Structure 1
Amino acid sequence: MQPSEAIGRCVGMASQCSGPTAGSGRGTGEQETRAAASAGASPPARLLPLLALACGSSVATVYFAQPLLVTLGERFALSPGLLDAIVTVTQLGYAVGLLTLVPLGDLLDHRQLITGQLALLTLALLAAGLAPGVVALLGALAMVGLLAVVAQTMVAAAADLTPPARRGRAVGTVTGGIVTGILLARAAAGLLADLAGWRAVYLTAAGVTAVLALLLRRFLPANTTPAARVREVSYGRLVVSTVTLFARHPLLRIRGALALLVFAAFSTLWSGMAQPLSGSPWSLSHTAIGAFGLAGAAGAVAAGVAGRWNDRGLAQRTTGVGLALLALSWLPIALTGHSLWALAIGAVLLDFAVQAVHVTNQTLIHAVRPDAGSRIIGGYMVFYSTGSSLGALGSSLAYATAGWPAVTALGMAFSLAALLLWAATRRA
């Protein structure tokens, strides 16, 4: 049996847990979606918001642990080094999933793959919420990170189900869910932990994920693999081809590099913000710090705007405006020690800019090879993950060295580097 067949069979078995079996009558939702896709029309209006919600919920699970680190350290008697391991294993699992699971979107049926991964993510979240010890917790969180990449498979599915003339808008809607999920994850986790303990965070997420799997089982159309000929390719060759695609197409490398720098700036702010806010003069609680994600989430409107601009052929203008705003956002952010309003304004500008560039990137790269959309988005998100890790590490070192001014300078440097890269390569 080929590896792809084995993986497909496992995902197929898991997906049976998330909805009715084939031939049992899935209701009008799936029929409408399938008819719309086959006719070249946009999918039903309720599907894209549902995919956005599922994307945000899935990717949020990667970030739940961040506001819980102190509590987890006390519960499991962890040293500071092992506290870092809680975040690291989740991110490592996510990186592995980008390279090994997301390419399956070009090989397997989207509905089977998405609902199957959501069912498995539900089990991983249950395992994390019920973990009796640190080894079980780390193992469960590694699986959470691995399976949370289903969000990227859903982005590719949204692009595949939408005609080119409206694809930017569709990608914008779904991507807006992802970035909003990242920002709200910390606030939601802090609030739930304060109300019912840290285990409630993962157990509640498991319940939400299971419900979303059932809904997507109903409304996603079956047999939406982008190209039938891809099914003949072995799983190993499919994964290797992700690297080949980026080596062959300069646009993929340029947009990947922009993603690395943009999300390095994004992570520099959101990974380092807790330290100045928890210290003098603000001394905010974990819940209050997490609530700043609500301010950043206001920038989610950029996703829809960027999608519409892309559909009008204004991708380069959208990128340039977004990167300029990203650089300017660090001016009010630098005033964090004097004004929380300045930080909130800077966070809105930064997240508006990040979403605009991110949506534009994904719309452009998917158009390079629509039949390889999942592999391309998976490879692109490796740059995203690398940038996020670089920003988190750099923010920690900068704050330890010279405080918040150094963090602001680092974020500005990443932002200006992205703007210069765009200016140097926009004609290419």
Structure 2
Amino acid sequence: MNLIEDLRWRGLIHQTTDEAELGKLLAKEPQTIYIGFDPTASSLHVGHLMQVMMLRRFQRAGHRPIALVGGATGMIGDPSGKSEERNLLSAEQLQANVEGVGKQMQQFLDFDGDSGAKLLNNFDWMKGYSYLEFLRDVGKNFPVGAMMGKESVRSRLESEAGLSYTEFSYMLLQAYDFVHLCREHDCRIQAGGSDQWGNITAGIDLGRRMLGKPLFGLTAPLLTTSDGRKMGKTEKGAVWLDPDRTSPYEFYQYWINVEDADVMRCIAYLTEIERDEYDSLGEQTAADPGRRAAQKRLASYMTRLVHGEEGITSAERATRILFGGEIEKATDAQLSQIFADVPSSEADRKSLSGEGLWIIDALQTAGLVSSGSEARRSIKEGSVYLNNRRVSDMNHRLSEADLASETVMVLRRGKRKYALLRFRS
């Protein structure tokens, strides 16, 4: 299966400027393709993965990807798909974001060798341009009528927020990026999300006017749920690729909880799973949705891709803990993430010294029982667990040896009623 056919069956082609000619170009010899990433934060998030994986697919097919981090365009902000103007970032914050995003790109693309991927920053070629020079060299080749016809511009002009001249100029900057990359790196293909169609076609038109060369554009659908909502967000906010912002466990849980209506599309869009396995997962999901075979495969694949073997091992272990697996060698942070919605109580760490804290008292302190008699009855029934190990001795005394992490013990009554007991000095 050639690259275009692979993208087509995965549903990754939303628009192309000339698919037949693009296919011929890709089949003829290795090509260079670029996708731009505005550094609005120091980390990529799940929404960026569609485009990161697009570059990766092209590279695996023998082509050279350019990941363009918009140090210049990020100073303005892309109005495409936005209902109001973005807040402008400081130069220091932008530079930190550029460095963070650039570092993450190296997880997904091979930058080694003469044919390796390139990581570029458009600030490097825009910083030397004066305003007058840019207007003379680029602006004169950019018809305003064509800009006004772009949906990204027209929708904002018609909105209550309107469109500033600053954001209006964004399209010129992105279009010139395409011209520069074609001139300096022989890049003839730009890809992006479907909301970038206007910017991409503007670059193609500018390339024709300034270079006299045919350029090509390709967009993919946005990553949305079956009811049209953007994916990659939770109640806590965006699902980040940075483990300090979204832990491997939280990342894994996001994917394993994807709805049945969305999971197969996510697998097609975001993974490199082959067609045979994809079809098998689809059949398993249709026959027995409760097994969540597709969700488990998606969660495992994405967590390993983003966080490596250590990340997937940690995430799967945390998931086992949540569903009753024995707890050992955990950290306070891990237990806080796993049991984020579980009630937490505090006790004096000194109570673990000497004779230790009686399990009956611990259950009452944690709020799992209302009385000592209820605690005794629960232990007798075999429904009390300490760090997911059953407690059968109602005279058991808790010591520091019973801590599941630095300061936390996990108590459970019955199958799902958890409580954390934190011991503070």
Indicate whether the TM-score tops 0.5.
no
Which structure is higher in RCO with an 8 Å CA cutoff and minimum separation 6?
1
Greater Cα radius of gyration, structure 1 or 2:
2
Calculate the TM-score normalised by the size of structure 2: 0.23
Q: Which has the higher helix share?
A: 1
Q: Which has the larger share of strand?
A: 2
Instruction: Using structure 1 for the length normalisation, give the TM-score.
Output: 0.23
